[in-house]
Amino acid sequence: MSNESTVRGYLTPVGDSPQYDEALEREISRWIRGVSGLQAKRVFPRWTDPQADIPNNGITWCAFGITTVPLPGFPANVQVGEDTSEQWAWESVTVICCFYGPQGAAMATAFRAGLFVEQNNTELNRVGLSIGDVGTIYNLPELINNQWVRRYDITITLTRKTTRTYNIKSIVDGNVTINTGD
């Protein structure tokens, strides 16, 4: 099966692809740890298999999850060479951060405050992400192992430009005649 535009059929991206799944979760985990000051063993991705053991009651920690990845507009297709085209898209990545434990509210508000520190945004930009929107902190206690645990949720929307490369040939020379009507 061919994967280029001179042959009929579907095309798939070639080369490096944007980060998703565990790779994107690792970047988001580093960001949460860096801005909140929580240790690595206190920040967990939600909805993983196998699920990480949650800390004991009395410990402050964070669970996060990527909830949506909307594409607010249409991608741009840009011919970057005679043999390749790039598709540029501007995605939103919606992340919910749930801060648990006796210092959950303090940690959630400190994290939110840190989102507005320029140096923190510069570090986030280094991995291709930017702050798009910061939501409200909600107090949503959770019953875990028959004990109520403090939980404070905040949703942050990150934005990023993604690029995918396709083997789409440009038309350099066509076997056509253009009549202008003159």
pLDDT in tens, 92-112: 999 999 999 999 999 999 999
Percent of the chain with pLDDT over 90: 80
Q: So what's the pLDDT on residue 173?
A: 63
Average pLDDT taken over every residue of the chain: 93
Question: Can you tell me the distance from the alpha carbon of 88 to that of 68, in angstroms, rounded to the nearest whole number?
Answer: 19
Q: So what's the pLDDT on residue 112?
A: 98
Answer with the residue of higher pLDDT: 87 or 47: 87
pLDDT (tens digit, 9 = 90+) per residue, 154-166?
A: 999 999 999 999 9
pLDDT (tens digit, 9 = 90+) per residue, 40-81?
A: 999 999 988 888 888 988 999 999 999 999 998 899 999 999
Q: Quick count: other Cβ atoms within 10 Å of Cβ 77?
A: 12
Q: So what's the pLDDT on residue 26?
A: 95
Domain positions in the chain: 22-166
- List, in order, residues 6 or more apart from 10 with CB less than 8 Å away: none
- Identify the residue whose tokens are 């959770």: 142
CATH class of 22-166: alpha beta
The string of DSSP codes covering 12-56 is --BS-----HHHHHHHHHHHHHHHH---GGGEEESS-SSPPPPPP
Q: So what's the pLDDT on residue 93?
A: 96
Q: So what's the pLDDT on residue 12?
A: 95
Q: So what's the pLDDT on residue 175?
A: 67
Residue 180 has pLDDT above 90, yes or no: no
Question: Can you tell me the distance from the alpha carbon of 111 to that of 34, in angstroms, rounded to the nearest whole number?
Answer: 9
Answer with the residue of higher pLDDT: 181 or 137: 137
